[in-house]
Amino acid sequence: AQSVTQLGSHVSVSEGALVLLRCNYSSSVPPYLFWYVQYPNQGLQLLLKYTSAATLVKGINGFEAEFKKSETSFHLTKPSAHMSDAAEYFCAVSGNQAGTALIFGKGTTLSVSS
Amino acid sequence: EPEVTQTPSHQVTQMGQEVILRCVPISNHLYFYWYRQILGQKVEFLVSFYNNEISEKSEIFDDQFSVERPDGSNFTLKIRSTKLEDSAMYFCASSEGRTQYFGPGTRLLVL
């Protein structure tokens, strides 16, 4: 079975500060891992994905994530937060083939203050 | 850029009524999905669909739910007899491979 744990349901940072959103996964097969972002009253937008190629993955809006197999982690970072980054962020793990369910974490709400 | 679209954006219905949620997946995608998100909770998988049949479904997807691809572009989720607890945001997604792209969602409110 696969699962995702997102540590911290709410993270608050100041504008310009480092953003770190934590995600740990459990998977019995080599995982595909994803981060999605949900702005208020909107759908889920793909931020970035890990698909067993490079362990450091760059996404949109300056976000990146590093896959660490030894730590079963896929933490999301951004060097400098912007007010527009305020949203809910979901980490998800996929099964070992297309058509299988994405298993989501509970989400982390990011607040950015000026 | 191609995207998944969903209609309606909002739907209010009475308990016991049937609702149909509609989705138009990205045109060259072969895999289709439905997820739901109850307010304040995480996104939950309902069902996946490939080659005109269900390929995987969760425990949530019981007999009151059904999916259909009635033509070459639409993908629908039917809830036969809605319950209060069906109130949620329903997301459609589609994929070529493992990367799923989501629509904006339909907010369903059951009264």
Could you report the per-residue pLDDT of B35-94, keeping only the tens digit for each? 999 998 889 999 999 999 999 999 999 999 999 998 878 999 999 999 999 999 999 999
Least CB–CB distance from A101: residue in B50, B58, B99 = B58
Q: Sort out which chain A residues have CB atoms less than 8 A from B43's CB and list them.
A: 44, 90, 92, 102, 104, 107
Tell me which chain A residue has its CA closest to the CA of residue B43: A104
The mean pLDDT value for A89-105 works out to 90
The pLDDT value given to residue B74: 93
The mean pLDDT value for A60-82 works out to 96
Q: What single-letter amino acid sits at B28?
A: N
Judged by CB atoms closer than 8 Å, whether chains meet at A98 and B102 is answered as: no
Per-residue DSSP letter, B71 = S
Judged by CB atoms closer than 8 Å, whether chains meet at B48 and A46 is answered as: no
Q: Sort out which chain B residues have CB atoms less than 8 A from A95's CB and list them.
A: 98
Name every residue whose Cβ is closer than 8 Å to that of residue B102 and which is 6 or more positions away in sequence. Answer: A36, A43, A44, A45, A46, B4, B35, B91, B92, B93
* E-only strand ranges, B1-111: 5-7, 10-13, 19-24, 31-37, 43-50, 53-57, 65-68, 75-79, 88-95, 101-102, 106-110
- pLDDT band at A28, cuts 50/70/90? confident
CA-based nearest residue to A40, from A100, A110, A106, A114: A110
Name every residue whose Cβ is closer than 8 Å to that of residue A94 and which is 6 or more positions away in sequence. Answer: A31, A32, A33, A34, A100, A101, A102, A103, B98, B100
Q: Sort out which chain B residues have CB atoms less than 8 A from A108's CB and list them.
A: none
Query: Per-residue pLDDT for A30 more than 90?
Result: no
Tell me which chain B residue has its CA closest to the CA of residue A34: B99
Q: Sort out which chain B residues have CB atoms less than 8 A from A105's CB and list them.
A: 42
